[in-house]
């Protein structure tokens, strides 16, 4: 079988390295260099386990293990999130990739938010993001300024470097959120060393169908594998692993169901975000215990009362 992967981000590079000993596979990306548009947070346990399968030791790329995530001034103990050098990891993985375009039997859409090779999603929800790279002497925690429709973040990268950014319904709102984050935590408005405008898909996989269209299959953010908080790195890897297993076992017909089942937690989180944004309080409250149970394992220690207070439910 010949496979062409479009997009060499989180999902595409990982899938390539999983597949390369089994089939003829090539990759094509519209960029010359890996895309670094991300705050660089990642759920440690899953990422470590998955990368080990392609011979990568995630620990070699970890920049920091912050102790707290400070959300609207409330300190939450981080359980399982680290900051990794995503750019260096992707640069290293690109070194072994055969970039080319071939006539393939199967095409993979791993183009992330662009979803460039699958049909457009009806009522898609893609939020603009803005991020800068700055230097600040502030204690290394993750700082969040959260509102009902988005949030601003400051992620420490070590050596006083910080990713400061926001995702919201408009770029103007992103800037306003960043301003509030600066006021709240004391991040001065300094010259940035680098900045980018991008976007993140906040829509559950079940609303990102089709996953398979003719001989093209989607993976990662292209099919909505992003948590309710906009965290898509590990979901991209997990969806790529599922796709790999379906391809080598000739079970592509099981792919959609496996994504929906094994990434069900994303469905729950995105449903919660949807209810919360639309002010469907009772429905959102019902989902709250599940969200707390999911995120207490994946990211931060969270109690029902604290979370409820933080989001004003």
Ligand X SMILES: Cc1cc2nc3c(=O)[nH]c(=O)nc-3n(C[C@H](O)[C@H](O)[C@H](O)COP(=O)(O)OP(=O)(O)OC[C@H]3O[C@@H](n4cnc5c(N)ncnc54)[C@H](O)[C@@H]3O)c2cc1C
Please report, as ranges, the residues that interact with ligand X according to CB under 6 A. 6-12, 28-31, 35, 37-42, 110-112, 114, 116, 129, 131, 165, 198, 200, 220-222, 226, 230-233, 236
Q: CB atoms < 10 A from the CB of 165, how many?
A: 26
87, 106, 84, 72: which is closest to 2 by C-alpha? Answer: 106
CB of 261 to ligand X, least distance (A): 19
Quick one: 69 or 131, whose CB is closer to ligand X? 131
Closer CB to ligand X, 112 or 156, in the complex = 112
End-to-end CA gap in the chain: 52
Of the two residues 111 and 302, which places its CB atom closer to ligand X in the complex? 111
Nearer to ligand X, 12 or 228 (CB): 12
**In whole angstroms, how close is the CB of 154 to ligand X at the nearest point?**
11
Nearest to ligand X of 229, 287 (CB atom): 229
Rounded Cα–Cα distance for residues 268 and 274 (Å)? 10
The whole-angstrom separation of Cα 45 and Cα 23 is 28
Report the nearest approach of ligand X to the CB of residue 72 (Å): 18
Summarize the chain as % helix, strand, coil (round to 5). 40, 25, 35
| Minimum distance from residue 165 beta carbon to ligand X (Å) | 5
Distance, CA of 156 to chain centre:
17
Minimum distance, C-beta of residue 197 to ligand X, in the bound complex (Å):
9
Query: CA–CA distance from 101 to each of 31, 160, 163 (Å)?
Result: 14, 41, 34
**39 vs 71, which CB is nearer to ligand X?**
39
Least distance (Å) between residue 250 CB and ligand X: 24
What is the smallest separation between the CB atom of 90 and ligand X, expressed in angstroms?
A: 8
CA angle 172-173-175, nearest 5°? 65
Please list, in sequence order, all residues whose beta carbon lies within 8 angstroms of the beta carbon of residue 40, skipping any fewer than 6 positions away: 63, 83, 84, 85, 86, 155, 157, 163
* Strand ranges across the sheet with 194-201: 74-77, 68-71, 142-147, 150-158, 161-167, 126-135, 194-201
Considering the complex, state which of residue 197 and residue 313 has its C-beta at the smaller distance from ligand X. Answer: 197
């Amino acid at each position: 079988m010949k496979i062409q992967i479009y997009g060499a981000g989180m999902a595409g590079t990982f899938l390539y390295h999983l597949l390369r000993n089994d089939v003829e596979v090539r990759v094509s990306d519209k960029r010359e260099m890996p895309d670094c548009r991300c705050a660089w947070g990642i759920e440690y346990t899953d990422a470590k386990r998955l990368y080990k399968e392609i011979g990568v030791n995630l620990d070699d790329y970890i920049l920091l293990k912050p102790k707290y995530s400070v959300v609207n001034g409330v300190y939450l103990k981080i359980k399982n999130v680290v900051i990794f050098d995503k750019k260096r990891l992707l640069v290293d993985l690109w070194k072994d990739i055969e970039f080319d375009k071939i006539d393939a039997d199967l095409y993979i859409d791993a183009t992330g938010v662009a979803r460039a090779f699958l049909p457009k999603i009806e009522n898609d929800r893609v939020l603009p993001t803005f991020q800068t790279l700055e230097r600040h002497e502030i204690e290394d925690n993750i700082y969040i300024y959260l509102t009902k429709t988005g949030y601003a973040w400051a992620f420490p990268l070590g050596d006083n470097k910080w990713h400061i950014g926001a995702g919201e319904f408009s770029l103007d709102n992103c800037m306003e959120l960043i301003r509030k984050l600066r006021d709240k935590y004391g991040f001065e408005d300094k010259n940035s060393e680098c900045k980018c405008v991008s976007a993140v898909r906040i829509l559950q996989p079940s609303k990102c169908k089709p996953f398979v269209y003719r001989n093209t299959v989607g993976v990662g953010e292209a099919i909505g594998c992003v948590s309710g908080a906009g965290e898509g790195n590990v979901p991209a890897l997990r969806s790529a692993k599922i796709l790999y297993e379906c391809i080598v076992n000739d079970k592509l017909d099981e792919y959609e169901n496996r994504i929906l089942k094994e990434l069900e937690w994303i469905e729950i989180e995105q449903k919660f975000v949807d209810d919360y944004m639309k002010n469907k309080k009772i429905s959102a409250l019902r989902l709250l215990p599940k969200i707390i149970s999911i995120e207490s394992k994946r990211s931060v220690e969270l109690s029902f009362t604290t979370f409820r207070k933080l989001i004003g439910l």
